[in-house]
Amino acid sequence: MKRFAQVIFIVFAACLQTTIFAQCPTNIGFESGTLNGWEGALGNVDATGTLQLSTSSLPDSRHILYKASVVSELDYYGKFPVTCPNGSLYSVKLGDDLTGKGAESMSYTFTVPSNQKEYGIIYNYAVVFQNPSHQSFEQPRFTAKVYDGITGANIGCSSFEFVASGGLPGFQLSSQGKDVYYKPWSPITINLSGYQGRTIRIEFTTNDCTKGGHFGYAYIDVNENCASPISGNVFCQGDTTMTLTAPFGFSAYNWFPADFSKVLGTSHTINFKPPPLPGTKIALEIIPYLGLGCLDTLYTTIVFSPDKINFTLKTSIEACSNATVDLTQPYLTAGSDSAIKLSYFYDAGGLNYLTLPEFVKPGNTYYINAINTSGCHELKPIDVLVIADPTINITQPAFVTFPKTVDITRALTPSPNVTYSYWYDKATTVTIPYPTRVDTSGTFYIKGVNTTGCINIQPVSVLINQSDPVQINAPTVFSPNNDGIHDKFIIEMIGVIKLNNFSIYNRTGQPVFETQDITRIWDGKFNAQPLPIGTYYWVFDG
């Protein structure tokens, strides 16, 4: 990838929500794991800043689908998640970080339900860029358009364009690159009230600079939970309280009655005890950060349902400390109504989604919200408890001197109901065949598994000192003539060594003497007969 001193990088993500009981456009949020229903285009930007785009089949190298992971993948420059933090599973990367006057777009067309007088969309975005010294029309840019599919007219300030420039509010300097600035996730509202039955088109576009030296790309996500941006407006038989929750990410919130006669609250949520009368209309003024969207007012109407929700949830489950737990398993909610929709949160307020409830860590309390077809809902906690790991008490063995070995099974004080095994590596892929006689220095591993399947792996260190250097001395000449001088061929060993075999050969390679006993000596004979004078060769194996 070609790098330049001045780079523009634009990141956008849209998380859309529609009003209560609205019909979700099919796959508007990519939750089928595909880009079905979306239209794509690829092309270039010319010297005048005009885009030349042609229809593209999705996905392609500049329309890439991302799936949320257990460990959130972060944007390189902004260090924010590349998938929208609204509980959805998929996001799309629009564009890439290659330079060369590239341009790309994607769009979705839908119809506002004819029975929805009040209808709105909220999208969230994050932006990162470095400001090059080009003219405005030459800059890389990101454009979001929301317009009437029939007239082509833009809808309010929900359509906007980000172009690299100085002094943009809400931006922070990135630690990556030179003069790279970013703005974390922020929301924008699209007020579609009065557009019932109308066709609406949402379009996102990114392009490089016209000179070809700077790039831009986007992340896009759509929330397929087609409920009101204000949640919790239904109370049911037996409910004594009601909590309304606003969409996240705005600078400030003001709650009002329908006549705006007084401020009811100024936080992200508002609690009523008892619930307001059915039919009561509540207004919410959402205030964006300075220069980043429009002040807007959302409405919700209090609804009473004679139904009751039947939501049964286990109060706790257990898991090993190094395992994960799937909170979506049906047995956890066995006995509940069949037609309930579940969502998963970190907090009791139901504000922070669990992106992947299938993989949560033990040692925490999580929260599951259930809502039925009447809008009755209930939020309950579930404790994910930690099962104690098997105990492995190790006393590091004393060092020994070769050729002694170490029995690492004796380094362990065993516990009942725990099975132990011995390994060369921490990943426990290579087993030690003879743990009772380890003959090399190093770090080895003992693995314990208890009756619940929990695992504990601990190291044990073995130190085997080498003995003093071994010397083997033997005469170069001896005379077995029984004169009492050099009559025997005797080898001398200095140091610690074990003899495996000692043999002597004549010049033709025939063995004339062999022993495994170091105390046995050679008298120059073979089969009790003296051998002729000559040169002989010995081999020591130890």
Give whole-number Cα distances, 6 to 62, 136, 219, 278, 432, in Å: 22, 15, 22, 58, 56
Domain 234-305: CATH superfamily, name plus number: Immunoglobulins (2.60.40.10)
393-465 — its CATH code?
2.60.40
pLDDT above 70 covers a percentage of the chain that reads 91
Q: How many CB atoms lie within 10 A of CB 203?
A: 17
pLDDT at position 293: 67
CA distance 319 to 304: 40
Residue 59: asked if its preceding bond is cis (omega within 30°), the reply is yes
What is the separation, in whole angstroms, between the first and last Cα of the chain? 60
pLDDT tens-digit profile of 258-313?
Answer: 999 999 999 989 999 999 999 999 999 988 877 666 788 888 899 999 988 899 99
CB atoms within 10 A of CB 20: 19
The two three-digit tokens of residue 353, written as one number: 């989604």
* Residues 6 or more apart whose Cβ sits within 8 Å of residue 218: 10, 11, 12, 13, 93, 94, 95, 142, 204, 206
Distance of CA 284 to the CA centre of its chain: 35
The two tokens of residue 473 are 């001395």
From CA 484, how far away is CA 516, in angstroms rounded? 26
Q: For the chain, what percentages of helix, strand and coil (3-state, to nearest 5) are there? A: 5, 40, 60
Round to whole Å and give the CA distance between 45 and 27: 29
Over range 16-27, report the average pLDDT. 57
Span 316-343, pLDDT tens digits: 999 998 888 999 999 999 999 888 888 8
The tokens describing 522, both together, are 């050679």
> What is the reported pLDDT for 1?
36
Q: What is the pLDDT of residue 315?
A: 95
Q: How far is CA 298 from the centre of its chain?
A: 35
Amino acid at 26: T
pLDDT score for 538: 85
In the block, tokens 């001896």 appear at: 478
Sheet holding 364-371, edge to edge: 316-320, 377-387, 364-371, 341-345
Residue 12: the pLDDT is 39
**DSSP secondary structure code for residue 539 in this structure:** E
d(CA 147, CA 294): 16
Spell out a b/e string for 473-508, using b for 16 or more CB atoms within 10 Å of the CB, else e.
eeeeebeeeeeeeeeebeeebeeebebeebebebee
User: CB within 8 A of 368, min separation 6: which ones?
Assistant: 313, 327, 332, 333, 342, 343, 344, 345, 379, 380, 382
More confident call, 482 vs 35: 35
Question: Bridge-partner residues for 65, per DSSP?
Answer: 92
Task: Tell how far CA 269 is from the center of its chain.
Answer: 30
Comparing C-alpha atoms, which of 371, 400, 539 is closest to residue 465? Answer: 400
The residue extents of the domains of the chain are 39-220, 234-305, 316-387, 393-465, 471-541
The single residue listed with the structure tokens 């799309």 is 92
More confident residue, 100 or 7: 100
Sign (positive/negative) of CA torsion 32, 36, 42, 45? negative
Beta-strand (E) ranges in 71-131?
Answer: 90-94, 102-111, 120-130
- Return all residues near 409 (Cβ < 8 A) that are at least 6 apart: 420, 422, 435, 436
Query: Which backbone phi and psi does 419 adopt, to 5 degrees?
Result: -100, 130
Distance from C-alpha of 291 to C-alpha of 162, rounded to nearest angstrom? 12
Alpha-carbon distance of 389 to 454, in angstroms, equals 6
Distances from the Cα of 37 to the Cα of 57, 106, 165, angstroms? 11, 10, 34
Highest averaged pLDDT of the listed ranges 3-12, 231-240, 267-276, 282-291: 267-276
Six token digits for residue 155: 């809808």
Residue 43 has pLDDT above 90, yes or no: yes
Q: Which of 453, 243, 253, 440 is nearest to 350 (CA)?
A: 243
Among the ranges given (7-16, 133-142, 269-278, 475-484), the one the predictor scored with the smallest mean pLDDT: 7-16
Average pLDDT score over the chain: 84
Specify the pairing of strand 412-413 against strand 400-401. Answer: unpaired
Other Cβ atoms less than 10 A from the Cβ of 225: the count is: 19
- Please state the separation of Cα 308 from the chain's center in Å: 38
CATH number of the domain at 39-220, please? 2.60.120
Task: Give the list of residues 6+ apart from residue 433 with CB closer than 8 angstroms, or none.
Answer: none
pLDDT digits 0-9 by tens, 166-209: 566 667 788 887 777 777 777 777 777 788 899 999 999 999 98
Identical fold, 234-305 and 393-465: yes
Helix extents (H) in 261-411: none
Alpha-carbon separation of residue 195 from 124, 252, 298, 397, 430 (angstroms): 22, 27, 15, 79, 66
pLDDT at 19: 37
Model confidence, pTM = 0.61
* DSSP three-state, residue 370: strand
Average pLDDT value for residue range 377-386: 92
Distance from C-alpha of 102 to C-alpha of 98, rounded to nearest angstrom: 8
Closest CA to 216 of 128, 89, 305: 128
**Mean pLDDT calculated for residue range 477-504:** 79
Compute the half-sphere exposure of residue 276: CA atoms within 13 Å on the CB side of its CA. 20
314 is written with which tokens? 């286990």
